Structure formats: structure tokens, C-alpha cells
Amino acid sequence: MIAQSALCSTRPVANAFAPVFPATALHRFTRRLRALGRLVVRRNRSLRRLEDLRRLDAATLRDLGLAASEVASVVAELDGRAAATRRRTDLDVWLSASERFRVRSVDSSL
């Protein structure tokens, strides 16, 4: 009878990957600090991209298909802060056009 009651226990099984201590104020603070660090890194990366593109001369920007006034918009699109509104590249057009010609499956009877 004792063995049977031990098998039918209604206690939840402890998760082996759960933290040992509950989320205390210190844990919440460190999580927020890490999130702030990620934001700073993302912002610095964005500023470096913006500086790099602003250093390019007008001829190089024209070769890339951009105007000087579009540089900030391009950086925002690269960072995911704005929807991508640029024209698709030739590779994207080729892949979408060739999609209908791709072999999806092979008939085993052939």
C-alpha cells in the first residue's frame, strides 16, 4: 500500500533546468542590465554603419543605387527598425522567377 501511494503522488516533478532560486531583485536587475547592454551594442553597430555609408562619395552611392538622402533609411532597414522598402536585387528577382521552374519532387516510376 505504501509503494502504491508513492507511485500515485500528485506532486509536480521538479524541472532539472529551472533556476534554484526564484527571480529576486538581483536577478531582475542583471537581466535588465544585460538587455541594456544588448541595446547599446545594437546602437553602436547602427552608428558605425551610418558613418561608413556617409563617408562614401556620391559616385559610389550612385553605383550602389542610393542617394545621400537615403543613407539613414538604409541603415534603419538593415537594423530592422524600418520595413524594407528598397527595390529587390537582381538575385531576388531571379530566385522568385526561377521558383516555378524548380523540381519539387521526383516521380519514382520514371
Q: How far apart are the first and last CA of the chain?
A: 65
- For the segment 56-109, what is each residue's pLDDT rounded down to a tens digit? 999 988 888 888 988 998 888 888 888 877 665 556 656 666 565 555 566 666
Gap between the Cα atoms of 24 and 38, Å rounded: 21
Gap between the Cα atoms of 78 and 84, Å rounded: 8
Q: Are 52 and 72 in contact (CB under 8 A)?
A: no
Which pTM value belongs to this model? 0.52
pLDDT of residue 66: 85
Domain boundaries, the chain: 25-97
pLDDT of residue 35: 94
Is the pLDDT assigned to residue 32 strictly greater than 90? Answer: yes
